[in-house]
């Protein structure tokens, strides 16, 4: 018995990335754009999503479906039934509680349940966590993260990986600004240091402020996907 060194030089997330590419190919074939929606727990992304879809499953003619991966903030059937939005719930709960992120394989397992041919945009609501979801691609075209003014304004400095990986940062609960110790200017300053020039929107899922702008942003995502011939 002797020991041999084996050169590997492989990204530890290669296996996940390979499945993510397969998902992406399936989404492209069906002409569906995919948004990976991430946030810290309690940032209000489920409520925000409900607001965005309050008018039904179509945004400016873009047909939207939801893949719900956040057990905690679950958009349950009742809440969505009246919105007529196709929702598939991923069961991410394990024996030790919920998963801390979605990976490409979990999303892949949900593909057969998704009515991809009837969708233009699929919103994947990730597990509320600012760390692990940033590492795992699921086959998305765009990543959005929701931060709320109830969190610290130094969040971008603490979670640079997450803030850098997103192309849109949604600042939620701005209706609370007068009541909380959150300096929006400082938050945006930190955000710019971590991800210079990143787009952001200020919204309130409660009052509806800024939700139209988010809706418009989402409705433009499918433009990037080539429609299959």
Three-state secondary structure along 98-124?
A: ECCCCCHHHHHHHHHHCCHHHCCEEEE
Q: Which residues bind other proteins (CB under 8 A)?
A: 1-16, 100-101, 131-132, 135-136, 156-157, 160-161, 164, 192-197
CA distance 15 to 165: 19
Contacts of 207 (CB under 8 A, 6+ apart): 175
> Closest CB to other proteins among 1 and 229?
1
> Closest CB to other proteins among 66 and 194?
194
CA distance 98 to 71: 7
User: How remote is the C-alpha of 224 from its chain's centroid?
Assistant: 17
**Minimum distance, C-beta of residue 158 to other proteins, in the bound complex (Å):** 9
**Minimum distance, C-beta of residue 221 to other proteins, in the bound complex (Å):** 22
> Closest CB to other proteins among 94 and 226?
94
Question: What residues are paired with 202 via a beta bridge?
Answer: 171
Among residues 32, 24, 60, which one has the least CA distance to residue 120? 32
**Minimum distance, C-beta of residue 26 to other proteins, in the bound complex (Å):** 23
> Closest CB to other proteins among 70 and 120?
70
**Minimum distance, C-beta of residue 194 to other proteins, in the bound complex (Å):** 5
**Minimum distance, C-beta of residue 121 to other proteins, in the bound complex (Å):** 27
> Closest CB to other proteins among 65 and 133?
133
CA distance 47 to 59: 17
């Amino acid at each position: 018995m002797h020991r041999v060194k084996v050169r590997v030089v492989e990204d530890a997330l290669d296996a996940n990335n390979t499945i993510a590419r397969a998902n992406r190919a399936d989404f492209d074939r069906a002409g569906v754009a995919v948004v990976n929606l991430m946030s810290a727990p309690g940032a209000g992304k489920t409520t925000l999503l409900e607001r965005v879809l309050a008018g039904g499953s179509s945004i400016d003619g873009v047909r939207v479906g939801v893949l719900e991966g956040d057990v905690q903030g679950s958009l349950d059937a009742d809440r969505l039934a009246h919105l007529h939005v196709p929702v598939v719930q991923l069961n991410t709960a394990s024996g030790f509680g919920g998963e801390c992120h979605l990976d490409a394989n979990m999303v892949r397992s949900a593909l057969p349940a998704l009515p991809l041919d009837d969708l233009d945009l699929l919103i994947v609501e990730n597990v509320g966590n600012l760390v692990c979801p940033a590492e795992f691609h699921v086959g998305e075209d765009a990543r959005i993260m929701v931060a709320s003014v109830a969190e610290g304004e130094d969040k971008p400095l603490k979670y640079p990986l997450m803030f850098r990986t997103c192309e849109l940062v949604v600042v939620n609960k701005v209706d609370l600004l007068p009541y909380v110790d959150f300096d929006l200017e400082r938050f945006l300053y930190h955000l710019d240091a971590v991800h210079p020039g990143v787009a952001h929107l200020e919204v309130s899922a409660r009052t509806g402020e800024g939700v139209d702008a988010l809706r418009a942003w989402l409705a433009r995502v499918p433009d990037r996907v080539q429609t299959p011939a």
